[in-house]
Structure 1
Amino acid sequence: MADFPAPAEIWRPHVTVACVVADGDRYLMVEERVNGRLAWNQPAGHLEDGETLLAAALRETLEETGWTVQLQHLIGVHQWRSTEHGDAVIRFSFAARPIGHDPARPLDADICRASWLTRTEIAALGDRLRSPMILQSIDQWLAGRRLPLDVLGHLPEGGAS
């Protein structure tokens, strides 16, 4: 049998989800410990193997805030190179509405607290924001960006429909 060269390493960005959860003029945010510093972010995290983007957004929001939310729209897909780790990030940003809160639910280990902040308060956090995608997604939502959730397809294992 012939020896074939090993395939070149395939570039793989981090696939993440985030939720813009609005309640009037306030947005659900988390203060989290990242690489030894405190930073602010929307409820957000990585897509897990076998998980849909929608399920990941719901899971991350619950794990980081104790809030159950209902996804309403896709706001956008953002591509960015992280200043924390240097890797590329593809982020799916969703609009969601709060449904219920479990204050007794333990939050993810790196989360210090969840808070409701106005856009002005979020902008004032400056370099304490984890990424520029936070304000970008809020501003797109405020500008009326609303994409239907069904633009995101998912095929079950094996590809059968």
Structure 2
Amino acid sequence: MHPRRQKRLIAVVLVISLLASAIGAMLYALQQNIDLFYTPSQLVDGLGKDKIKPQVGQRLRIGGMVVNGSVTRDPDSLKVSFDLVDTGPIVRVTYEGILPDLFREGQGIVAQGVLIDATTIAASEVLAKHDEEYMPPEVAEALKGIKHVPPSQQGAANATSTEGRY
């Protein structure tokens, strides 16, 4: 092999190895910022066909409906805890801070935080849906089987369901 071709080959190999190491370093750095999305059923039962469960201490996002009557507030601080449900198991979420104005029982929310144990999450952020129509795509997909009646329509739904009884 000519010395000129050998120098070119070394230069190409060096560039490719530097590029590969830079991509590897970026992926390693981004790994800390990846938050996987779960529903309460996926969190408890596992995700995918292999039923892979998140590890304690893992950062994640969870979406579901706030269970009616489950919101408890600490009178001396901003600590709040509530239950989330989708179609199956219930997961407890604890949060310290001011909840969004649209947060209420029976409302769909997404919480971001750390898994404390198999059914408890310490949330660092709680997001409530903006209106009755919009929901993040992954939450909408996960909650397809749940029928949620918006509070503004609950009176109408109760009235229509009891009309035929009298």
For the criterion TM > 0.5, the same-fold answer is: no
Which structure has the higher relative contact order (CA within 8 Å, separation 6+)?
A: 1
TM-score, with normalisation over the residues of structure 2? 0.26
TM-score, with normalisation over the residues of structure 1? 0.27
The structure with more helix, counted as a fraction of residues: 2
